[in-house]
Structure 1
């Protein structure tokens, strides 16, 4: 007998959920992953790092060393700001890529997704306007939706936000912040070039809004020249006091460790630390210490180099097969790194309506419409290339072609 069946008939119904919980929907990507988890399905849907590339042995040694040498500390509560060794190692990595950073400017988070939640809580009042790229990383719509933000899309081209449109939106909407993924963006895979980054940073400096740069994919470059982070251009433009950078070890170390970080000016960093205290006190100590030990004992850059080689082969396999898999008149981009290809079917096609047919052929993708804050484009789709081997990708594309037969 269920507990609800024993409630007296005169008992009142429980209070309703919060309006935020009722208004903000679930992640379309997560829902697709739940329905396509069968092992026989070749999925281009999730942005899941290739598990066979995890350095399991190296991470196991790091955990063993930490537990053997400092087990009591590793299993104890820790400071909210994060393990000093991991903050120092992360600061060194940022400095090596051209962004001088002090460990005290960093807050360790439980994945960069938590960093977004901390920022939204610390910065956004209900009704505040937040600008996002269109299309946009899906989970950020949930985060700022729960904060009660008014989300406005910034028109974008193949290089990112249109500067004139962005300037007009800043003038008319008076936003609190702009959220952007400048390098290998999710979902489009595009990268904002240097001149465009200079323009965005300049607008942030002149107009006074917060600039939030999310960089989970920046180290996964396969070709082309590395572009300095948007945060670096913000510093040059005199906007260092309103520039925030988010990063993660999920794509280059292991997502299950749930390790991210937030780089921010002192006052905002302190506010985020207070919010984190109320959320989870601190990110698990043993994971932080093991990551710091791994960075000390192992060559993460060499490991990332191996990941890049494999992912480049998989991107090339996907691009090579798309002409035969998608209908005539389709188009797609060629990302220089990251995890995603953005494709568009010919006018009249609806990727969401086609998804059940694709799943029936044991292949999956993510329709592009949910990523749009403005008018959705039903013909778009996101394809992740990192999880499967080139042979599996080729087979997946053969199955996908049957969807359009």
Structure 2
């Protein structure tokens, strides 16, 4: 029954045997439903609450605005839906991110480059007092401070004199690779760029492999390699980063496991099950990143719940299908990255070499 009324055996919402069928669900179908079972010995009732998820609609759309320099400005954006939608702002497709651990924002820095009055930079600050997160932040500082490679973001400065601590990182104008890939297949003509050819996709992957080769040669482990953590320039130069993007934006890409948020769908079995992170677990994640590139930013294992992905990792059978249009040779390289034994996975040097040797056409 629903709202105290027994449901019919036909119509849009009806009972079929022991099942309740809701055909062509509408927002009005939300509410409490009761399963009532009875026989000569007695009866049982069980209430269930059904929430109908709806597409966000605008209550107030943000408008083009002219703001005055030196004064505060505000742009309001109000939406409604069930569940309540999360609103996130971008600047030129670059996330302005904030969560309980980090704050990531764009800023202008003076005196960083000779002959340039101001440089647009990415600033990442540590908000948390958690000891492990402070350790991870210091590890990132050390990593980006020591690395010097065209495919790794540069650490331009840091501030540790007072809390919160800040690191100032190189900013790349098109934002993160995940958004770039999504826009490349967007149906919105205002956003859509030219479709990526196989050759261009290989070039994106090769640059990430070269950046990761530099990390591994310097004995650094990334631990969260994914398209969301790489940046892209207008010239399609890719740089490995560690943005630590807000869980409000990429919340579906993280899984709460053993009191921590982890990128489950990018993790190797030994990393998720044993906490064993290494260059070889980064290689596994790189295989998933390649898959992201060739699917234009689709969610890995998108048809499965997190618990199902975890079960597949435990059973040693978590594998992604060959993307449409992906050459078999490149898919075999992805599969090598997902070898169950870490020692059977290629090095980043081998991956970069294999990508460089791949004969690909230039058609989309």
Q: TM tier, shorter chain?
A: under 0.3
Instruction: Give the TM-score normalised by the residue count of structure 1.
Output: 0.21
Larger helix percent: 1
Looking at both structures, which has the greater relative contact order when contacts are Cα pairs under 8 Å and sequence separation is at least 6? 1
When the two structures are superposed, what TM-score results if normalisation uses the length of structure 2?
A: 0.23
**Which protein has the bigger strand share?**
2
Greater C-alpha radius of gyration: 2
